[in-house]
Amino acid sequence: MNDTQKVAIVTGASRGIGRAVAARLAREGFAVAVNYASNQAEAAKVVEEIENTGGKAIAVQADVSKTADVARLFDETEKAFGGVDVLVNNAGIMAIKPIVEFDDETFDRIFAINVRGTFNTMKQGAKRIRRGGRIINFSTSVTPLTLPGYAPYSASKAAVEVLTTHLTKELRGRNVAVNTVAPGPVATELFLDGKTPEQVDRLAKLNPFERLGQPDDIANVVAFLAGPDGVWVNGQTLRANGGMV
Yes or no: say if 144 and 206 are a contact pair by the CB < 8 Å rule.
no
Tens-digit pLDDT profile for residues 184-219: 999 998 788 888 999 899 989 999 999 999 999 999
Gap between the Cα atoms of 18 and 90, Å rounded: 6
Gap between the Cα atoms of 178 and 126, Å rounded: 10
Tens-digit pLDDT profile for residues 154-173: 999 999 999 999 999 999 99
How confident is residue 3, by pLDDT bands cut at 50, 70 and 90? Answer: low
Q: In this predicted structure, what is the pLDDT of residue 220? A: 98
Mean pLDDT value across the chain: 95
- Average pLDDT rounded to a whole number, residues 143-148: 88
For 59, the 3-state DSSP assignment is strand
Tens-digit pLDDT profile for residues 109-144: 999 999 999 999 999 999 999 999 999 999 999 988
For 133, the 3-state DSSP assignment is strand
Between residues 44 and 195, which one has the greater pLDDT?
44
Tens-digit pLDDT profile for residues 73-92: 999 999 999 999 999 999 99
Q: What is the pTM of this model?
A: 0.95
- The answer, yes or no, to whether residue 39 has pLDDT greater than 80, is yes
DSSP 101: G
Closest of 184, 183, 167, 243 to residue 208, by C-alpha = 243
Catalytic residue (choose from 116, 153, 191, 239):
153
Gap between the Cα atoms of 32 and 34, Å rounded: 6
How confident is residue 1, by pLDDT bands cut at 50, 70 and 90? Answer: very low
- The answer, yes or no, to whether residue 2 has pLDDT greater than 60, is no
Domains and CATH numbers, the chain: 7-238 (3.40.50.720)
Q: In this predicted structure, what is the pLDDT of residue 233? A: 98
Q: In this predicted structure, what is the pLDDT of residue 78? A: 98
Q: Which residues contact 68 (CB under 8 A, 6 or more apart)?
A: none
Q: In this predicted structure, what is the pLDDT of residue 192? A: 85
For 181, the 3-state DSSP assignment is strand
Q: Which long-range contacts (CB under 8 A, 24 or more apart) does 67-75 make?
A: 67/120, 70/117, 70/120, 70/121, 70/123, 70/124, 71/124, 73/9, 73/11, 73/33, 73/35, 73/121, 73/124, 74/9, 74/124, 74/125, 74/128
Q: In this predicted structure, what is the pLDDT of residue 48? A: 98
Q: Is 236 exposed, middle or buried (0-12, 13-18, 19+ CB in 10 A)?
A: middle
Known catalytic residue at 150: no
- The answer, yes or no, to whether residue 240 has pLDDT greater than 90, is yes
Gap between the Cα atoms of 23 and 30, Å rounded: 9
